[in-house]
A and B are shown apart, each in its own frame.
Chain A
Amino acid sequence: MDKLKGILRALLQPLLAIVVGLGAGAIAIAIVGGSVTETYAEMWKGAFGSFYFFTNTLSRATPIMLIGLGVALAFRAGFFNMGSEGQMVLGALSAAVTAIYLPGPAWFKLVAALLAGVIAGGLWSAFAGWLDARFRMNLLITTLLLNYIASLFAGYVVSYPLMDRSGSAAMAQTVMVDKSVWLPKLFQGMSLHAGFLFALIGAIALAWFMRYMVKGYEIRMMGGNPLFASYGGVNRGRLMLYSMFVSGGFAGLAGAGEVLGTQYRYLDGALTSPGYAWSGIMATLLAGSNPLGTALAAILLAALQTGGMGVERNTDVPLEVSSIIQAVLILFISAKFTYSFFKKKKKAGA
C-alpha cells in the first residue's frame, strides 16, 4: 500500500507539470486568437492521430531517448554533462565515415559504424571527464566548449576533405552511405528505424544496471552524497571517466542511429538544428534522471514537437506553442527540488 502511494506521489508532480504546461499553452493559444480545444485536437492528431504519425513521433523520440539516457546516467552521478550535442555530432560523423570507407561485408560495416559512433561519442565525453578528474576543470563549462569544437570540426571535415562533390548541390555533407548498410526500417514505408529498439533496450538495460549492479549503486551514491561515496571507497576520478564514457556513448549512438537510419549521410547542421541534444537533457530533467521515465518523457517531448508541426499545418497557431509548453513543463518540474527540500527541513526540525 505504501509502495503504491509512493508511486502515485512520484507520478503526481510530472502529471501536474503537464497540466500546468498545457494550461500555459492554452493561454498562448487564446492570446493569438486560436481555439484551444481545436488546437490541442490537432496536436494530438499530429502526434498520435494515425499509425504514420505515431511512428513519426517515435522516430523523432529515438535520438532524444538515447541522449536523455546518457545524460540521466551522468546526472545521477552528479556530473552535469552538457556536451551531448558535440558527442552526438562526433558519433554521427564517425559512423558515417566508417560506413562509407570501411571495406567488408555490409553487416560488418553496420556494426563497425555503430561501434565507431559509440566510441567517438564516449571518448569525447570521457575527455571532458578526464579534464575534470585530473585537472579539476569545471565539467559543465568544458562540455559546453567541446560542443562548439566538435560541431566546427565536423563542419570542416564535411566541407573540405570529405565533401560530397558528386551531386550538383554544394552542401556541406558526406557522400551517401551504401544502401546495404542502412539500419532497417521497422515498418514498411514508415520513418521509424531499428535505432528505436536500441533506445528501448538501452532504457531497460540502464534501469536494470542502476538498480542491481554494484557500479550502478556506486553511481547513485556518488550523486547522492559524494563524501559518503568516497568514504565507502569509490574512486571519484575513475567513476567519472566510466560514467562520462557511457554517457557520451549513448549520445554517439544517437548520432550514429540518425546517420544510418534517417539521413544516410552526415549533413552539417542536420543534427544540431532540431535541438535533439537539448530535448534529451529536457527529457532527463523531466523524469528526474530515472531511465524508464526518461524514455517516456522523450516520447512526450517528441509528441509535443511533432504535434506542434500538425498544429502549424492545420491551424493558424504557430508551431512554437509546443516549445512554450515544453519550457513551462521543465520550469515547473524544477520546483520538485523545492518540494523535497521542504520535507527534509521539516524532518530536521522535528
Chain B
Amino acid sequence: MDQLFDVSLFASTLRMITPILLAALGGALCARVGLFNVGLEGLILIGAFSAIVGNHLTGSVWLAVLFAIVCVLVFSLLLAYMAIHLKANVIVVGISLNFLALGLTTFSLRAIFNVKGAYYDKSMVGLPKWDIPLIKDIPWVGDVVSGHSPLVYLSIALVACLQYYLFKTVSGFRLLAAGQNPVAARSLGIKVTHIQYGAVLMCGVLCGLAGAQLSLGQVTMFTEGMTAGRGFIALVATMLGQSNPLGVAGASLLFGFMDALSTRLQGYALPVHFTMMLPYVVTIIAMFFFKDKSYLAEARKANESSR
C-alpha cells in the first residue's frame, strides 16, 4: 500500500487534472449563463494542436500558448455566434464543433507538418517546470506541489479567482442572474447576450490553456485525437461540481486521482478496466445525490424543448 500511494502518484494526479480542470472551469462558466457547452472536447483539441503549431512557427513557448488561446477564441466565437445570435441548439453546435475540431486538426497535421498520426520534434521546448522556492524544501508536500508547469499553478489560482468573481463581485452576480433568469435580468438592464458572449469566450481561453498544457506540458507532441475524451470528462466534472468553481475543482481532482491510480494499478492483479470505470460510476452515484439545482433545471429545459 505504501508503494501504491507514494509521492509520484499525487504529483501525477496534479498534472493530469490540469487540462480537465481548466476546461471544466470554462464549462462551468458557460453552464452558469445557461449554455451547455458540449464542444469542450473539440476546443481543447484545437488548443493542443495550435499550441504545437505556434511553437513550431515562433519557437517560443509563451507565444505558442498565446497562439493556442487566439485560435480557440476564434472557434468559441463561432460557437457563441451560432448559439446566441443565430439561436441554434447549443448542444448540436457543440457536437458539430467536436467533429470539426477532430477533422481540422488531423487534416492540418497532414497539411502543415506532412505527418500522419503524431507530430514530434526534438528541438521543440515544452513548458518550463517551476520550482516553488520555500515549498520545494518541505519533504512530502514539496515533491507533490513543486516542479510543475506554470499552467498547473495558474489553474489552481483560477479556481479561487472564479469562485471570488462569481459569488463576491457585482459583475459575477450579473452573470449568475443572466443564466438563472434571462428575462428578469434583461428587464433590469443587464446585457444578457454580452455576458453570454463573454462567458463563452472566457471558456475558449481556458480551453486553449488546457490544450496547451496537454500538448506542451507533460509531453511535447501532438497526436490525432489526443484529448481522448477529456473534454467530456470535463463536462461531467462541471455537472458533478454543480458549476461551482470549488466543486468543479473537487470533481476534477477525483477524476485525476482515479486516472493516475488506474495507470498505477496496471501492475496489480485488479483489471485496469474496473479502476478506469470507477470515476464514471462515482459520478453517476454523485449525480443521484446532488441534483435538481436551478441551473440543472435550465439545462434540462434547454434539452427537453429541442428536437
Interface residues of B in 229-285 (CB under 8 A from A): 229, 232, 235-236, 239, 271, 273-274, 276-277, 280-281, 283-284
B96 adjacent to A155 (CB under 8 Å):
no
Q: Which residues of chain B are near A321, meaning CB under 8 Å?
A: 107
* Nearest CB of A to B111, in Å: 5
**Which stretch, A6-14, A52-60, A206-214, A277-285, touches the partner chain B?**
A277-285
Report how far A146 CA is from B305 CA in the complex, Å.
23
Report how far A205 CA is from B230 CA in the complex, Å.
38
9 shortest interchain CB distances as A-B pairs: A323-B103, A327-B100, A156-B273, A330-B96, A327-B99, A320-B107, A318-B110, A334-B88, A320-B106
* Nearest CB of A to B96, in Å: 4
Report how far A220 CA is from B152 CA in the complex, Å.
48
**A80, A223, A341: which has the most chain B beta carbons within 10 Å?**
A80
Report how far A226 CA is from B87 CA in the complex, Å.
20
Interface residues of A in 317-347 (CB under 8 A from B): 318, 320-324, 326-328, 330-331, 334-335, 337-338, 341
A320 adjacent to B103 (CB under 8 Å):
yes
B280 adjacent to A145 (CB under 8 Å):
yes
Tell me if B70 counts as interface (CB < 8 A to partner A): no
B91 adjacent to A145 (CB under 8 Å):
no
Tell me if B82 counts as interface (CB < 8 A to partner A): yes
Tell me if B156 counts as interface (CB < 8 A to partner A): no
B107 adjacent to A78 (CB under 8 Å):
no
Tell me if B299 counts as interface (CB < 8 A to partner A): yes
A142 and B284 in contact, given A135-B291, A156-B273, A318-B110 (Cβ under 8 angstroms): yes
Given contacts A226-B304, A278-B99, A338-B88, 7 further A-B contacts (CB under 8 A): A32-B110, A135-B288, A138-B299, A144-B235, A153-B273, A223-B307, A328-B100
A141 adjacent to B236 (CB under 8 Å):
yes
Tell me if A112 counts as interface (CB < 8 A to partner B): no
* Nearest CB of B to A286, in Å: 10
Q: Which residues of chain A are near B110, meaning CB under 8 Å?
A: 32, 318, 320
B102 adjacent to A285 (CB under 8 Å):
no
* Nearest CB of A to B83, in Å: 9
Report how far A140 CA is from B273 CA in the complex, Å.
23
Report how far A114 CA is from B287 CA in the complex, Å.
33
* Nearest CB of B to A22, in Å: 14
Tell me if B86 counts as interface (CB < 8 A to partner A): yes
Report how far A37 CA is from B89 CA in the complex, Å.
34
Q: Which residues of chain B are near A226, meaning CB under 8 Å?
A: 304-305
Report how far A323 CA is from B38 CA in the complex, Å.
18
Q: Which residues of chain A are near B284, meaning CB under 8 Å?
A: 131, 137, 142, 145-146
Q: From B78, B103, B280, B292, give the contact of A149 (CB < 8 A).
A: B280
A142 adjacent to B287 (CB under 8 Å):
yes
Report how far A152 CA is from B281 CA in the complex, Å.
12
Chain A residue with the shortest CB-CB distance to B297? A136
Report how far A250 CA is from B64 CA in the complex, Å.
45
Report how far A140 CA is from B91 CA in the complex, Å.
10
Tell me if B92 counts as interface (CB < 8 A to partner A): yes
Q: Which residues of chain A are near B102, meaning CB under 8 Å?
A: 323, 327
Tell me if A28 counts as interface (CB < 8 A to partner B): yes
Tell me if A262 counts as interface (CB < 8 A to partner B): no
Chain B residue with the shortest CB-CB distance to A318? B110
Tell me if B296 counts as interface (CB < 8 A to partner A): yes
Q: Which residues of chain A are near B96, meaning CB under 8 Å?
A: 282, 285, 327, 330-331, 334
B86 adjacent to A159 (CB under 8 Å):
no
Tell me if B177 counts as interface (CB < 8 A to partner A): no
A326 and B103 in contact, given A141-B287, A149-B281 (Cβ under 8 angstroms): yes
Q: From B88, B92, B111, B273, give the contact of A155 (CB < 8 A).
A: B273
Q: Which residues of chain A are near B93, meaning CB under 8 Å?
A: 331, 334
Report how far A323 CA is from B229 CA in the complex, Å.
18
Question: What are 16 contact pairs spanning A and B, CB under 8 A?
Answer: A32-B110, A78-B304, A138-B303, A140-B91, A144-B236, A145-B283, A148-B229, A152-B274, A318-B110, A320-B110, A322-B103, A327-B97, A327-B103, A331-B78, A334-B88, A337-B86
* Nearest CB of B to A174, in Å: 15
A136 adjacent to B291 (CB under 8 Å):
yes
B232 adjacent to A75 (CB under 8 Å):
no
* Nearest CB of B to A18, in Å: 15
**A31, A137, A320: which has the most chain B beta carbons within 10 Å?**
A320
Tell me if B104 counts as interface (CB < 8 A to partner A): yes
Interface residues of A in 64-95 (CB under 8 A from B): 75-76, 78, 80
Interface residues of A in 100-114 (CB under 8 A from B): none
Report how far A226 CA is from B301 CA in the complex, Å.
10
B307 adjacent to A136 (CB under 8 Å):
no
A156 adjacent to B274 (CB under 8 Å):
yes
Tell me if A121 counts as interface (CB < 8 A to partner B): no
A76 and B303 in contact, given A320-B103, A320-B106, A323-B102 (Cβ under 8 angstroms): no
Tell me if A261 counts as interface (CB < 8 A to partner B): no
B103 adjacent to A335 (CB under 8 Å):
no
A137 adjacent to B287 (CB under 8 Å):
yes
Q: From B97, B99, B281, B288, give the contact of A326 (CB < 8 A).
A: B99
B106 adjacent to A318 (CB under 8 Å):
yes
Report how far A315 CA is from B124 CA in the complex, Å.
31
Tell me if B300 counts as interface (CB < 8 A to partner A): yes
Tell me if A187 counts as interface (CB < 8 A to partner B): no
Report how far A334 CA is from B94 CA in the complex, Å.
10
B99 adjacent to A323 (CB under 8 Å):
yes
A75 adjacent to B100 (CB under 8 Å):
no
Tell me if B306 counts as interface (CB < 8 A to partner A): yes
Chain B residue with the shortest CB-CB distance to A145? B280
Tell me if A289 counts as interface (CB < 8 A to partner B): yes
Tell me if A122 counts as interface (CB < 8 A to partner B): no
Report how far A330 CA is from B95 CA in the complex, Å.
9
